[in-house]
Amino acid sequence: MIPTTVAGIGEIVSYTTLHSAPEGFRSPLHIALVQLQGGARFVCHGAQTRRVRIGSLVAIEAVDNIYYFSSLNALDRARLFWGRAGRAGDRVNAMTRSVVRRLFKGGESGPN
């Protein structure tokens, strides 16, 4: 289970915890629909959904060709903002756009 690629940051469109997962999956199974910048949506697994809300920004990474989401803590966010130029800069722009969009929509949660 070694991360192979890092897809970056996405926004939670919706999420659920399935308590009777199908054969071959652990139960409970945390599933989220995540939107990347540019609008592409992915179904992702996660370790938990406790700190997740619709509209939350999450980190997305692929492990063994399966996408996983994990919530960003304050430290992650700070790193995203102040860390580096280059790729992180794109992410900061995405986050800013997302924040602006949410303010613009008057506090409605989620992209729906």
The residues of the shown chain that bind other proteins, judged by CB under 8 A, are: 13-25, 29, 31, 33, 41-45, 49, 54, 66, 108-110, 112
What token pair was written down for 37?
């910048």
What token pair was written down for 12?
């939670």
Q: Nearer Cβ to other proteins, position 4 or 112?
A: 112
Q: Is 55 exposed, middle or buried (0-12, 13-18, 19+ CB in 10 A)?
A: buried
Least distance to other proteins from the beta carbon of 41, Å? 4
Q: What is the DSSP letter of 83?
A: S
Least distance to other proteins from the beta carbon of 89, Å? 27
Least distance to other proteins from the beta carbon of 74, Å? 24
**Bridge partners of residue 66, in order along the sequence:** 63
